Amino acid sequence: IQLTQSPSLLSASVGDRVTLSCKGSQNINNYLAWYQQKLGEAPKLLIYNTNSLQTGIPSRFSGSGSGTDYTLTISSLQPEDVATYFCYQYNNGLTFGSGTKLEIK
Amino acid sequence: EVQLVESGGGLVQPGRSLKLSCAASGFTFSDYNMAWVRQAPTKGLEWVASISYGGSNTHYGDSVKGRFTISRDNAKSTLYLQMDSLRSEDTATYYCARHRSSYLDYFDYWGQGVMVTVSS
C-alpha cells in the first residue's frame, strides 16, 4: 500500500487549526498511525489505530478517517509543533508516507 | 523508562558488511516484537525488517531482502541487524523500534538512531 501525504509543506500561524492528509492506494482498515519527527530527533508516536492518542501526547492532536483517507488535526498550533509528520499503515505490509513539513508562519 | 540504544554504525565500502546492535532496557525485551527502520539523508522513513518476540518469525522490506538479517538475543536484551552486500542506497540513519503489541503493527518507541554511510 502506498501512502500519499498532502501538503508536503504547510505554513500556519500559532493558534491555527491545522489539518494534514494521508491517502492510501488501497483500503487501510483504520490501521494507520501518525508520527512526529523534529529536526535531528527520532520519530515520536502521536496517534495509532486512526484515532487513539498515545499516552503523554497533548489533546490538541487528533486523528480521523476511514477506508483510504485519513487526517491528523492539530486544534491549536503551538511553536513546539514545528516538525515533519509521517503517516504509517500496517494493514498490508508496513509503509510510511513521504511526510508533511509543518512550519510556523 | 524504555530505552533503545543503537550502535555499530559507520563508514563502509560498497559490497562490504556491517552489523548493527540495539541495546534495550526499561521493559521485558523478550515480550516484544522488534524492528529496524531507516531514513536516508533528507528523505522519508522506510521499514527494513521485523522479528517476533521469540525470534522465530522475521520479515524484510523488498529493498533489503536476501542481504540483511535481523536477529535477537533475549538473554542480552539486544537486537541486531547484519547488513551484507551493502550498496550506496543503504546509506541512512538506522533506527531500532519496538512494535506495540502485534507482530507487524505500529512502533511505540524508537532509539535515537545510528548512521551508516556506504561509500568508497
Instruction: From chain B, pick out residues whose CB is under 8 angstroms from the CB of A33.
Output: 106-107
User: Which of A6, A23, A33 minimizes the C-alpha distance to A87?
Assistant: A33
pLDDT tens for each residue of B44-77 = 999 999 999 999 999 999 999 999 999 999 999 9
**Grid coordinates standing for B108?**
511505540
For chain B, the maximum distance between any two Cα atoms, rounded to a whole number of angstroms, is 40
Do the beta carbons of residue A83 and residue A102 sit within 8 Å?
Answer: yes
B23: phi > 0 → left, psi -120 to 50 → alpha, else beta; which? beta
pLDDT tens for each residue of B3-13 = 999 999 999 99
Query: How, if at all, do strands B92-99 and B34-39 pair?
Result: antiparallel
Tell me: pLDDT of B103 over 90: no
The answer to whether A70 contacts chain B (CB < 8 Å) is no
Q: Give the other-Cβ count within 10 Å of B109's Cβ.
A: 20
Q: Quick one: average pLDDT of B70-94? A: 98
pLDDT tens for each residue of A30-73 = 999 999 999 999 999 999 999 999 999 999 999 999 999 999 99
pLDDT the model gives residue B43? 87
The answer to whether A1 contacts chain B (CB < 8 Å) is no
Contact flag A99-B108 (C-beta cutoff 8 Å): no
pLDDT tens for each residue of A80-91 = 999 999 999 999
CA–CA distance, A23 with A36 (Å, rounded to integer) = 17
CA–CA distance, B99 with B105 (Å, rounded to integer) = 6
